[in-house]
Amino acid sequence: MASPRPATADQAEFLEQLLGDGLLVDSGVQGIYGKGERFEEVRMGIDALLTRTAAGLGAERLRFPPLLPRRQLEASGYLSSFPHLAGSIFAFEGTEAEAALQQERAGAHEDWSEFQQMTDLVLMPAACYPVYPAIAARGALPPGGVFVDAGGSWVFRHEPSGDPARLQMFHQHELVRLGEPERVLQWRDEWAERGLELLRRLGLAAELDRASDPFFGRGGRMLATNQRERALKLELLVQIAGPEPTALASFNHHEDHFGSTYGIELADGGVAHTACLGFGHERIVLALLRTHGLDPGTWPEPVRRELSPA
């Protein structure tokens, strides 16, 4: 079982305020919260804003459930880089006698995992993952490539924490670009600047910086160093409840990793490069609540106008 990350005093106080005001609803498990009506209205406003922005720039809208075929996760390489974050789905396939034993142990809150079998599904770790095999199945990309808005899907990361901005289950709005290397990198960089401007329009003191993923193990530390040095991952950072700023969005250049993995071809037969952008809905809402106050009705009018569903 993963050890929860301890919360700082500021994070614990902010979480207490969110729960006390009904913005979040406690489940008894760190990083898993229900959302109050005011919280969800703001989150949906963010989703609408990102969807409108992407549609205005020619994105194709695709939506997937928050589950992924296990074989897709296995093929992607996720388990070698992030085995500590993955969530697998198990189900009961036993006899009546085993079902009774399972219930007996579950009723006593004892370990009943021996009665569960791995299924063909895993929890979605990032909303972009089903996009790559779906596009690959169409055949070679058209000239200029493809731009997909994968929407604000539920995603799961097994990292329990007392920090309200580090959830285990949350919405990640992903935009994906597949195409020629130069165009993909240019798109990623343009969206990093566009995302920075978008968050600042919401009154957030966002900053853009190089970053790295939380790769697993000693080999992962080398991967993280390489990723940061080559600027393969950029993040938009905002101070929420400290002590370090929190990433509200990330902008990732995969080079040809997914193109090679899934056989995504360019119009000329070359291997496609890909990039994905991930905007964390809940983190943006939390940053707004921390910056402008817990009552969205009192926020500055330009911010409320940006988040209007119209």
List the pLDDT tens digit at each of the 310 positions of the chain: 556 778 899 999 999 999 999 999 999 999 999 999 999 999 999 999 999 999 999 999 999 999 999 999 999 999 999 999 999 999 999 999 999 999 999 999 999 999 999 999 999 999 999 999 999 999 999 999 999 999 999 999 999 999 999 999 999 999 999 999 999 999 999 999 999 999 999 999 999 999 988 888 888 888 888 888 888 899 999 999 988 999 999 999 999 999 999 999 999 999 999 999 999 999 999 999 999 999 999 999 999 999 987 6
Residue 75 lies in a domain: no
Residue 120 lies in a domain: no
Residue 95 lies in a domain: no
Count of structural domains, the chain: 1
Residue 186 lies in a domain: yes
Whole-prediction pTM value?
Answer: 0.95
Residue 269 lies in a domain: yes
Residue 32 lies in a domain: yes
Boundaries of domain holding 228: 9-67+125-306
Helices (H), the chain: 9-20, 37-56, 70-76, 78-81, 96-107, 131-136, 181-201, 217-229, 257-262, 281-292, 301-306
- Residue 131 belongs to domain with CATH number: 3.30.930.10
Residue 200 lies in a domain: yes
Residue 94 lies in a domain: no
